Amino acid sequence: MSISKLAGKLPPKALLEDIPSLVSDFFLQNPSYEVEAQRVKFGTSGHRGSSTKKSFNEDHILAISQAICEYRKSQGIYGTLFIGKDTHALSTPAELTALRVFAANGVKCAIAQDNGYTPTPVISHAILTHNKREDQLCDGIVITPSHNPPSDGGFKYNSTNGGPADTTVTKIIEERANEILKNKLKEVKALPLDEALKSNDIVEYDFVTPYVEDLVNVIDIDAIKRSGIKIAADALGGSGMKYYEAIKERYGLNMTILHNFVDEKFSFMSVDHDGKIRMDCSSPYAMNGLVKLKDDFDIAFGNDTDFDRHGIVTPTGGLMNPNHYLSVAIWYLATHRPNWSKTLGVGKTLVSSAMIDRVAESLGREVKETPVGFKWFVDDLYEGRIFFGGEESAGASFLRIDGEAWSTDKDGIILSLLSAEILAVTGKDPQMIYDEFTEKFGKPFYKRIDVPATPQEKAFIKGIKPNDINRDLIAGKRVKEIEVKAKGNNADIGGLKVVLEDSWFAVRPSGTEDIYKIYVESFESQTHLEQIIKEVQEMLRELSQKSE
């Protein structure tokens, strides 16, 4: 896709969201079960949509919340339901709607103090720490569409293991919520808002203090403080702004906090590659504002709106490619956490860089490769089989210093602070270390592109079979493996991955947009990478036409 002329620039007024209309549509627009695009649909991380498109409205939240109440009861989950939300305009309306249902169903809920915001990883951390000491199991909800545009809303359920619910659970909730929608919400129990907020089941909770105080058990913050390095933390107007303020104050870090205010239009964001406002901390276009400041700080980082993702900016290289930073983080943690067992492996998604495999092999660590989605790492982190789980889209988490689980959801805060620890301890920023990797393991060229696709083309790609690929060579390289199931857990990819000599590519249809995604990596050259992309698109076109 072409790059927008607005990419990397501040948005014009015409691009800014009409927040009053967006919120009004949340309450006034009624989705129809008969329209598939307006039903509840849980993707890789919850239900997402926009109120103006009738895909994220009050009716959806009423139905999902009732379905979650029924699911909790069926599983004997009666502990506290921890609720977090980000700063998207639809998050607070969704939270208030959900509380009406939870209070009516007698569900104990903990919400942030003073109508505040709570990041995704903090909810996971709260679930894990409480379930260690309480008899009744706790779970959680995070109301966020992640880094998506200001028009979007999102609602996801986290299980008692702290992580995003797996597909078995989300299918139950999704199907029941759609049944409720189909029945015109007749099964929904909901109190009037003022009555719900006065309920003894809804309590305000200090999420900030326990999370911030516990950070010393996952990050060597003393090393960061002693070094005196100059840090920039860009909150991007997201849910973790008060957390960075508390971290700076408690630990006395030399840290400047940027964009620590709420602007539901996100008018301070640089426009992303496609001309949309998107709080994507892995995009050089969206992060252009922080990149411009790279020479003013020793290390800088930013996070998306719910703080489950990270973007690392160094003076030596600007915004790091997420894959590059993941490989550095894995190496550093494996060599600087002496209490961890040497048998612990590494979790990576199948579209993450093969540099991770080469680094892990040099460390004698096994790599567990999974489909896209952090949910595939939850059990392995929770049960202590891997010390690190990371996605190519800049989301990761890792264990406490003592080897116990910290967060079984992505934690952009600890990944950001880890970049400062790496610099403080080694004297090198993560980009410097990655550059050393390329000299030792080779230099990879990586790219992901979005290709417009019809529903029929997406369905073909999702159902593609290994024997459909009848080529021995692609871009001059021998085809070594064709995978439709992930090697690490034998789960369906929802597309395919083809491993070539010193290169690979993967193809997946988007679950929410009319596109399919091609991921490509070559350890040969940029030219070779582009040749793979060209031949893959031609091959898919031919195969799709034959299947019609």
347 and 297 both lie in a single domain: yes
Query: pLDDT tens digit string along 518-545?
Result: 999 999 999 999 999 999 999 998 888 7
**What is the rounded average pLDDT of the residues 248-266?**
98
Same domain, 487 and 437: no
Q: What is the pLDDT of residues 322-357, one digit of tens each?
A: 999 999 999 999 999 999 999 999 999 999 999 999
Please report the pLDDT score of residue 1 as a whole number: 58
Single-letter code of the amino acid located at 361: E
124 has pLDDT over 70 = yes
Say if 6 falls within a structural domain.
Answer: no
pLDDT in tens, 26-75: 999 999 999 999 999 998 779 999 999 999 999 999 999 999 999 999 99
* 544 counts as catalytic: no
Specify whether 201 is located in the same domain as 214.
no
Res. 548: pLDDT tops 80: no
Which 3 state secondary structure label does DSSP give 434?
Answer: helix
459 lies in which domain range?
445-547
Q: pLDDT band at 438, cuts 50/70/90? A: very high
In the Cβ-directed half-sphere of 338, how many Cα atoms lie within 13 Å?
A: 1
Statement to judge: residues 157 and 218 lie in one domain:
no
Residue 355 and residue 82: Cα distance in Å, rounded? 37
Which of 388, 416, 441 lies at the terminal end of a domain, its last residue?
Answer: 441
The pLDDT of 128-146, averaged and rounded, is 94
pLDDT of residue 72: 98
Catalytic residue among 50, 55, 124, 146: 146
Inter-residue long-range contacts of 72-77, CB under 8 Å, 24+ positions, other chains counted:
72/107, 72/139, 76/137, 77/136, 77/137, 77/138, 77/139, 77/160
Residue 424 lies in a domain: yes
Contact call for residues 515 and 274 (beta carbons, < 8 A)? no
Q: Read off the DSSP letter of residue 164.
A: B
DSSP β-bridge partners for residue 318: 314
106 and 217 fall within a common domain: no
Q: Which amino acid is at 79?
A: G
- Residue 257 lies inside a defined structural domain of this protein: yes
Residue 4 belongs to some domain of the structure:
no
Average pLDDT of span 224-244: 98
Considering 417, 441, 465, which residue would you say is the last residue of a domain? 441
Token reading at 483? 């995978």
Pair 154, 291 in one domain = no
pTM of the entire predicted model: 0.95
175-199: string of b/e by CB count within 10 Å (b at 16+)?
ebbbebbeeeeeebebbeeeebeeb
pLDDT tens, residue by residue, 302-315 = 999 999 999 999 99
Give the CATH number of the domain where residue 470 resides: 3.30.310.50
Tell me which of 16-25, 43-52, 387-396, 525-534 is least confident. Answer: 43-52
Residue 504 lies in a domain: yes
User: Quick one: angle between helices 58-75 and 91-104, nearest 10?
Assistant: 40
Within this chain, do residues 382 and 278 fall inside the same structural domain, yes or no? Answer: yes
Whether residues 421 and 462 share a domain: the answer is no
Q: Are residues 312 and 376 in the same domain?
A: yes
Domain match, 283 and 220 both: yes
Task: Answer whether residue 1 is part of any domain.
Answer: no
Higher-confidence position of 515 and 338:
338
Which of these, 51, 43, 32, lies nearest to 92 by C-alpha position? 51
Tokens of 14: 């015409």
Helix pair 322-336, 355-363: axis angle to 10 deg: 10
pLDDT tens for 483-498 read: 999 999 999 999 999 9
Give CB contacts under 8 A, 24+ apart, made by 356-363: 356/323, 356/326, 356/327, 356/330, 356/390, 358/437, 358/441, 358/442, 359/327, 359/330, 359/331, 359/437, 359/441, 360/330, 362/440, 362/441, 363/330, 363/331, 363/334, 363/335
Q: How far apart are CA 420 and CA 292, in angstroms?
A: 19
Neighbours of 374 (CB within 10 A): 26
Query: Would residue 8 count as lying in a domain?
Result: no
How many percent of the chain have pLDDT more than 90?
90
Whether residue 331 contacts residue 359, with contact meaning beta carbons closer than 8 Å, is answered with yes
Task: Give the pLDDT of residue 512.
Answer: 64
Residue where a domain stops, chosen among 163, 180, 206: 206
- Whether residue 417 is found in the same domain as residue 272: yes
Tell me, yes or no, whether 373 and 460 share the same domain.
no
Longest C-alpha distance within the chain, in Å? 68
pLDDT attached to residue 542: 86
Let me know if residue 475 belongs to a domain.
Answer: yes
C-alpha span between 477 and 202 (Å, rounded):
60
Q: How many domains does the chain have?
A: 3
What is the model's pLDDT at position 237? 98
Whichever domain contains 225, its CATH number is 3.40.120.10
Q: What is the pLDDT of residues 453-464, one digit of tens each?
A: 888 888 889 988
Which strands sit side by side in the sheet containing 231-234, from one edge to the other? 255-258, 231-234, 299-303, 310-314, 318-319
Determine whether 58 is exposed, middle or buried from the number of CB atoms within 10 Å of its CB (0-12, 13-18, 19+).
Answer: buried
Over residues 497-510, mean pLDDT: 94
> How confident is the model over 142-165, as a mean pLDDT?
96
